[in-house]
Amino acid sequence: MPKITINGKEVEVKEGTSIIEAMQQSGDRIAHYCWHPGLSVAGVCRLCMVEIEGNPRVQIACNTMATEGMKINNTSEKVRDAVKWGLDFHLINHPLDCPICDQAGECGLQDQYMEYGKYDPEMAEPKQKKHKVVDLGPTVVLDSERCILCSRCVRFTEEVSKTNELGLFNRGDRTEIGTHDGMPLNNKYSLNTVDICPVGALTSKDFRFRQRVWYLKDSETVCNGCSTGCNVKVYYNREGFFRVKPVYNEKVNGHWMCDEGREIYKFVNKDHRLLKAQVRNNTGWTEMHAGAAAKAASEVVKSTAADSLALVLTAQYTVEEFDAIVGTFVNEFKSKKVYFWINNKESFDEFDGLLLRGDKNPNTKGLLKVLEKHGISATWNELSQGLAAGSIKTVVVAGPENQAVFPDFADRVKELSKAQNLIWLQAGKNEALSALTGNVSLIPMKTFVEKDGTFINHAGLEQKFKKATVVVSEALTLTEAALLLAGKNLAINASPANEFMPMNQRIDQVEVEARKKNEFVFKRGSL
């Protein structure tokens, strides 16, 4: 493998590695806009300049291959000067709208200017005015004035989604990104163009103007939208969750994720959640603490004969939780009537060739592994027959976190409500559940962002993830619910310090923390 020297450090790289890739691997910073590791090389931004020993001119690093013995630097005055004036051309027509731009705070253009710019502009000509708030499709808005024509979005639709909606139109300084006639940007991966836009020209309609990025924390996790198991970051603060973006994983999702997966933050927020346990009997609904409701449910479960007790599982919980609840039923309650609620049966095995799969559960393989471990082979037909005959009297259901991917939810509720006692462990609100009569317990559960665990994706890859934060303080994990149903004691913190707080309190807290670090922050109302 070739050995090269980058800024005085010797680096060994694979044959065919470009200089910019070698610099990424070695941890050296280099200015760039148009280059992206998941796309072809365009070489249009002219910022990734390097000086190569023996070559009188600076060269672009994205389209120059590293060869044996090459000595490269991007820290000389010659390189910095070239980058500075290249940056000047990118900023010729760029508007001064950073205070209202969604990209502010994580913008490549801001970062590059602070590192290579800080110059006095020499352009006397007026800025070229271009179109603003251009509706490209159902998910993305374009501000042409901000666009630096890096062509990343165009290459994405050509090379990754292969839908070819975007193109470069007109010539010279009038060139703009746009959609071809009759072809709105409406593919299942369209929001990746927002992720890879380095300057905020493309913005998400869903996230647009909802938050400033410096008020958001982020945490890596695994998407629970389907069995691909994309690695993602969720972005949140004390008001709730606001967006999801992909994290690179060569074995799973590469650099991308689907638009459906970006919706998973919505069902974890408080507006959609079951906040307190709801217990119903002949006198109506009663609100209870989740732990108390689970304790009360344990008496019902323990008083039910083993052959009259059933457990229904959706493949949306962790391996650890499945092991705990199934183990409790098999060992404590002596029941092997454990059933897998499969959603989207007709499209379960579908795959679009990129990331999207018909199995809309993150942990089907994990559930099947646990069922096999405990010797479970029960079928849904057996459950249906037992409910119809009245031989199954008590049913515990670990319902889906993401109800949107369960189109048969209402039908399943109707079928399972035939049991004398229905104990439904559920993260979100549901009208069909709230309309039930008889002996029903609805117990709030934590979502995937509120717990540690393991998902096993379609390929059998085990992926561990960590808790991001707590949204509903009383909610239980399935493991905790299993312990309480078995009659065991459990210490539950009902008021964690990271419970969500109102916007004005959160900003006050940010200001206080910034002052402690001697940092400047904008006062509310100062802009």
Each residue of 450-473: pLDDT tens digit?
999 999 999 999 999 999 999 999
pLDDT score for 526: 31
* Per-residue CA distances from 257 to 18, 248, 467 (Å): 26, 10, 21
pLDDT score for 513: 52
Q: What is the CB neighbour count within 10 angstroms for residue 400? A: 25
106 pLDDT band, cuts 50/70/90, is: confident
The residue extents of the domains of the chain are 3-90, 118-209, 272-485
Of the given ranges (59-63, 82-86, 462-466), which has the lowest mean pLDDT? 82-86
Of the given ranges (101-105, 160-164, 173-177, 507-511), which has the lowest mean pLDDT? 507-511
524 pLDDT band, cuts 50/70/90, is: very low
301 within 8 A of 422, measured Cβ to Cβ? no
Q: What is the CB neighbour count within 10 angstroms for residue 382? A: 14
Q: What are the backbone angles phi and psi of residue 136, rounded to the nearest 5°? A: -85, -20
220 within 8 A of 231, measured Cβ to Cβ? yes
What is the crossing angle of helices 319-327 and 478-485, to 10°? Answer: 10
Per-residue pLDDT reduced to its tens digit, 126-145: 777 888 899 999 999 999 98
pLDDT at residue 258 tops 50: yes
Q: Angle at Cα 201 formed by Cα 196 and Cα 207, nearest 5°?
A: 75
Residue 69 backbone zone (phi > 0: left; psi -120 to 50: alpha; other: beta): left
The burial of 425, by beta-carbon neighbours within 10 Å (0-12 exposed, 13-18 middle, 19 or more buried), is given as buried
pLDDT at residue 351 tops 60: yes
137 within 8 A of 179, measured Cβ to Cβ? yes
- Percentage of the chain lying above the pLDDT 90 cut: 76
Q: What is the CB neighbour count within 10 angstroms for residue 25? A: 14
Q: Which of 379, 388, 377 is nearest to 415 (CA)?
A: 388
pLDDT score for 491: 61
Residue type, 108: G
Per-residue pLDDT reduced to its tens digit, 1-45: 889 999 999 999 999 999 999 999 999 999 899 999 999 999 999
Q: How are beta strands 394-398 and 421-426 bridged, if at all?
A: parallel
Per-residue pLDDT reduced to its tens digit, 262-317: 999 999 999 999 999 999 987 889 999 999 999 999 999 999 999 999 999 999 99
Mean per-residue pLDDT, 341-369: 93
Q: Which CATH class is domain 3-90?
A: alpha beta
pLDDT score for 90: 82
pLDDT at residue 361 tops 50: yes
512 pLDDT band, cuts 50/70/90, is: very low
Which value, to the nearest 10 degrees, does the dihedral of the CA atoms of residues 270, 276, 280, 285 take? -80
Q: Angle at Cα 12 formed by Cα 9 and Cα 17, nearest 5°?
A: 110
Contacts with 113 (C-beta within 8 Å, 6 or more apart), sequence order? 87, 91
Mean per-residue pLDDT, 477-481: 96
Q: Which CATH class is domain 118-209?
A: alpha beta
Would the CA dihedral through 235, 189, 400, 250 be positive or negative?
A: negative
pLDDT at residue 523 tops 70: no
**Which SS3 state, helix, strand or coil, does residue 91 take?**
coil
pLDDT at residue 82 tops 60: yes
pLDDT at residue 102 tops 50: yes
Whole-number Å distance between alpha carbons of 61 and 84: 16
pLDDT score for 471: 95
pLDDT score for 282: 78
Mean pLDDT computed over every residue of the chain: 89
**Which SS3 state, helix, strand or coil, does residue 216 take?**
coil
9 has which bridge partners? 6
Which pair of tokens denotes residue 234?
């969720």
pLDDT score for 372: 96
Whole-number Å distance between alpha carbons of 64 and 452: 44
497 pLDDT band, cuts 50/70/90, is: very low
Q: What are the backbone angles phi and psi of residue 186, rounded to the nearest 5°? A: -140, 45
- The fold for domain 272-485 equals Rossmann fold (3.40.50)
Strand locations in 53-160, DSSP E?
Answer: 59-60, 71-73, 134-135, 140-142
